[in-house]
Structure 1
Amino acid sequence: MKKSKLTMALLSVVMAGALAAGCGGNTKETITGADASAGGSQTEGPKYTFRLADAHPEGYPTVVGDQKFAELVKEKSGGRITIEVFPSAQLGEEKAVIEQVQLGAIEFTRVSTGALGGFNKQYEVFSLPYIFESDEHLWKFLESDKGKALLDSLESSRMKGLAYYSSGARSFYSTKPLGSIDDLKGQKIRVIQNKVNIDLMEALGANATPMNYGEVFSALQTGIIDAAENNYPSYLTSNHYQHAKNLILDQHQRVPETLLISKITWDKLSEADQKIILEAAQESVAVQRAEWDRFEKESEEKIKAAGVTITEVTDLKPWQEAVKPVIDKYRSEYGEILDAIEQAK
């Protein structure tokens, strides 16, 4: 009898504890990384801590955009969703980061659409030369139905496109003199790793050298490559101008940036949290574009002050004629997108 009473007493204690635990109510679990599960909206629901990778340094316009995006997400979620921004390729170069995003190991990244071409064929269209006349033309296309459809197409590549960011126009710079298109012939030029860029260099008589962005400085320094191509801000912040002191402003490409999230992470979020992420991304664009315009002008002034020899291209016809075979080669693949780009003029 004593044993039975003792057993009943212990059982009562266990049940009381279980009931108390079940009524805990307001405790929120912190869920981090790709294992985060969906739930909640605004200030209610699970907490998340995600990572956003960017290859550019602190203070670069894309990083400023990333940080504004993270700030807006935290604000809109009432502090539930934290996105930690990792600049300067701390989490890896763009190609490696994209692969990690596809696996859900890294949740967010900002990458060049040029790098995305190796993962989603449609994005190679941005590497085609002289298809955009100006930034205004580019953004009119990006904000069109076709531009938005390109963002959506990333879902087939296990990513979700959230927004486009500005990246200006790309031009060539070299350790050797660059006075005209003819000076590019025979030069070893670093390119973003996609086949359109390789074909472009061949059309210009140059030798394409696919290479990670982080390797370009030492490659210019040691003579592994003669030249590279990029926009003013990247030319400055990468310090490439220290070795490649000859710049020709041919503006052959306008390759926008893309802010994206892993499809694995996206699918685990509630609809309410997906809305928060998407709205924050779109709202961060205006901040990034304004910062780009400011920083581009500042970079140009610093490059000129550093004694770089700058050659302006006053007649683009020889350039456009030289690369016409590249456009013709890919027209059958990207005809629909090219038509939309033409209509956006």
Structure 2
Amino acid sequence: MLKATLTATVLSLTMASFAGAQDYTLRLSHGDNESNPTHLTAVKFQELVDEYTDGRVAVQIFPSNALGTETEVAQALRMGSIEAEILYTGNLVPLAPSAGVLMLPYAYTTTEQAHTAMDELIDPLNERLVPEAGVRALGLLEKGFRVLTTNQPVETLDSLQGLKIRVSPNDIAIKTFQAWGIEPLPMDWAEVFPALQQGVIDGQENPYTTAISSRFYEVQSDITEIHYMMWTGPLLISERVFQSYPEDIQEAVARAGREAVEYGRQVSGELTEEAKAELVERGMTLHGAPQDEEKWAEAAEALWPEFYSQIGGEEWATQAIKIINSSAQ
């Protein structure tokens, strides 16, 4: 009896040790608060990974840049010292220029087209992200088009003239607004609200949900729904980490990533509609698209060849644009 008990105990310990060897921890970093679609996407990913791996992979979420800035974490992913991240595409471009195709102004003008294009782009994009930055995109999240908030109606390109607009400090955004006849002001994010409050700038561009979370309704009165650029952000995993997983874990994590991003897109759409309603309740006027938006689009699209060298070269840009254009059909 004692021998049988000892044998069972040894067997149990051996099995526990073997099971423990199959466990993985995946730390997921992002820069937003816990009410943001980014975080809700991360939570869904956490749930799905646990389900699809039967608990063999534990996802730990670190919101609000707790592990470092988006660019710092993306660099850590290359080495595998952090496992995963959701970040704004613009902050990935310095490390992986090919991701810049997602930021071409007026590449897509509807949410449906953008989803189709991003899903078609992800495989060829990953062929470039892996050698460029040592990362793999499991899915591409979007949080809506970057709309224009101001303190006066902007219903035509002419009414934009003379305004001081803050843009993200990236070349594509800067040159696009320059093509529209104004000199935009690139500015760090932390400076934007006080700059609006003090009248240093007249407006800024970001998704509707940002106008709520950043309380822009306190310092802005009007919104113009331009469709020049969508906020996109890949759910990334370190390629070094991904390749260290057995094949069944790779498949489970990849499936969880795809489905989490689909969920995040749905949540983002719902929150965008809620944000629109709340902004109206708080006194802002939503003007819809500019009356002459075709002029905005024509001026922006004429710039595309200038950006090819920054987004992976003309051959890749041409391939990506062909995929994007086919998504509109």
Task: State whether TM-score is above 0.5.
Answer: yes
**In the aligned structure 2, how far is the partner of 1:186 from the partner of 1:107?**
45
Given the alignment, which residue of 117, 126, 139 partners 1:151?
Answer: 126
Deviates more, 1:83-92 or 1:126-135: 83-92
**In the aligned structure 1, how far is the partner of 2:184 from the partner of 2:73?**
23
Decide whether the 8 Å contact of 1:220 with 1:227 is kept in 2.
Answer: yes
Which amino acid in the other structure matches residue 339 of structure 1?
K
Given the alignment, which residue of 14, 25, 28 partners 2:14?
Answer: 25
- What's the offset of the Cα at 1:155? 0.8
**In the aligned structure 1, how far is the partner of 2:234 from the partner of 2:47?**
18
Give me the TM-score of the superposition, normalised by structure 2.
0.84
Given the alignment, which residue of 295, 315, 325 partners 1:318?
Answer: 295
Matches within 5 A, 1:54-133: 54-133=30-109
- 1:340 counterpart = 2:323: yes
- 1:220 counterpart = 2:196: yes
Decide whether the 8 Å contact of 1:114 with 1:126 is kept in 2.
Answer: no
Which amino acid in the other structure matches residue 299 of structure 2?
A
**In the aligned structure 2, how far is the partner of 1:118 from the partner of 1:176?**
35
Which position in structure 2 is the counterpart of 1:291? 267
Give me the TM-score of the superposition, normalised by structure 1.
0.80
Assess, with a 3 A threshold, how the Cα gap between structure 1 residues 319 and 272 changes in structure 2: closer, same or farther: same
**In the aligned structure 1, how far is the partner of 2:278 from the partner of 2:59?**
32
**In the aligned structure 2, how far is the partner of 1:151 from the partner of 1:304?**
40
Assess, with a 3 A threshold, how the Cα gap between structure 1 residues 319 and 85 changes in structure 2: closer, same or farther: same
CA RMSD of aligned residues (A): 2.7
Decide whether the 8 Å contact of 2:168 with 2:186 is kept in 1.
Answer: yes
Given the alignment, which residue of 150, 164, 181 partners 2:140?
Answer: 164
Decide whether the 8 Å contact of 1:241 with 1:303 is kept in 2.
Answer: yes
Decide whether the 8 Å contact of 2:209 with 2:272 is kept in 1.
Answer: yes
- What's the offset of the Cα at 1:97? 2.9
Which position in structure 2 is the counterpart of 1:8? none
Decide whether the 8 Å contact of 1:118 with 1:124 is kept in 2.
Answer: no
Which amino acid in the other structure matches residue 119 of structure 1?
L
Given the alignment, which residue of 166, 175, 181 partners 1:199?
Answer: 175
- What's the offset of the Cα at 1:110? 0.8
**In the aligned structure 1, how far is the partner of 2:92 from the partner of 2:246?**
27
How many aligned positions are there? 312
Q: Which has the larger radius of gyration?
A: 1
Unaligned runs of 5+ in 2: 1-8
**In the aligned structure 2, how far is the partner of 1:91 from the partner of 1:149?**
29
Unaligned runs of 5+ in 1: 1-19, 29-39
Assess, with a 3 A threshold, how the Cα gap between structure 1 residues 241 and 99 changes in structure 2: closer, same or farther: farther
Aligned-residue identity in percent: 27
Given the alignment, which residue of 24, 46, 49 partners 2:25?
Answer: 49
